[in-house]
Structures are given as structure tokens and as C-alpha cells.
Amino acid sequence: MSDQVVSLGGKKRSTFIDKVKELLPEGGNLSLCLTCGACSSGCPATGLDGMDPRKFLRMAALGMDEEIEKSDWPWMCTMCQRCIYVCPMKIDIPQLVFNARALRPREQRPKGILGSCDLALKNPSTSAMGATPEDFAFVVEDVLEEYREAQPEFADMQAPIDKQGAEFFVNQNSREPVTEPDELVPLWKVLHLAGVDWTYGSHGWAGENYCMFLADNDAWEHITRTTANQADKLGCKIFLNTE
């Protein structure tokens, strides 16, 4: 029997989970998993694509980067953070999911999310439907006039845009002014009856941020900063995110 020399050690291959640990405080506690399954019990994405949070975390811990990159499950996760809430070790699985999405080249990420993000970047509305500030203003004014006439008890209801000094800066799901304009009104009525001093912004009025779900950090920041800058410009004290 010939002698064989086995070499141990050497430089460890950098894996996905190593990169995530570098980004998260205290490594995101990813190494503390007890495999208890509490995360999977309340996860709305458990069972989809044959995956659940516990299995996903173990795959990451085992360095199964290629399998994670090919899996569609990270895109099914809503990042609702229920898994963190029930985890006895408070492991940040949603952050792991977010970074798993970034493993795919941007152009290969889900077309619906990708398209909505790109539309939101096209104009300062940040609308995932591509509606411009002018489009939004036209719809708001038209719907407001209609309901004032149809319902006299709301004849003095307001839906201001770019009101300087308003207390609340309010955003709106960008689908509603484009496809369901009547759905704008219930929120206006609530704010009106509550006597809230509020305004939309012509810039950054869209409430959703598909770039966040796309795991595009630069685009995510651009969308968020557009909204924050407009709220600051108007001197609003509180940002009310309806989404």
C-alpha cells in the first residue's frame, strides 16, 4: 500500500454566506441556527418550490451557492420578518434572502420586478407604472372634482400636491391612479375626517419600491432618496408610507 499525503488547510473558498456575514452586524447570527423549524412554521413561503427558511439557511451554511442562485424561492419570500420574530436566536434570514437575490445578474432577475423597478427610475414620480408627475396631478384633480360634486358632504375635501409646510407627506400605490383611480378616495376621506394636514409630493409620490425587492441597492436608494428629498423640500414633519 503506497503512502498518500493529504494536504489540509489552504485558502478557504469564499462563499455566499461569508459575504453576508461580513455585511451583517455580528455576522447576522447565522451560525446560531438550532434547526428548530420555528422560522418555517409561520413563513407564508414555506413549501413553495420545495423550500422553507430553515432549508434555505442550511443550504447557505453548507456553501451551496450555485443551488441558491438557481432557486426561485428567494424571490417568493416577502421578507415580512416573521421568521426573525419567532426565531429564538433572532437570525436575520430576510437579509440572507436579500443578498441571495443579488447573486443573479440583474438582467436575469424576475421580469416583473425588474420592469417595475426600471419604470420607477424613469421619472421623478418613482411610479412603477411609469406615470409622470403631470399624469398623477391630472388624475388626482379629476377624481377629487368628481367626488366633491357627487358627495356634497365632502365638498371641501382636499387632495393637495406639493403643499408647503404640510405635517404629513403621504405616498400612494402607483397602480391606483393609473388603473383604479376611485381607490384613491377612501384614504382622502379618512384624512379629511381626521382633520389631517397632509400632502402628496409631485416627486416621489409612489408608495412601493420594487428596486428594493430586486436587490438593487443603488436604485433602491435613489427611489427612497427622491421621496425623502421631496418631503424635506416641502418641510413635512412626518412621512406616512401607505404601503
Place of cell 414633519: 237
Tell me the residue type at 59. M
Domain-wise residue ranges, the chain: 16-104, 112-240
- Sheet with 198-199, side-by-side order of all strands: 198-199, 168-170, 238-240
- Eight-class DSSP state of 169: E
pLDDT tens digits, one per residue of 107-137: 999 999 999 999 999 999 999 999 999 999 9
Which cell is 229 given? Answer: 428629498
pTM: 0.81
Confidence category of residue 8, pLDDT binned at 50, 70, 90: very low
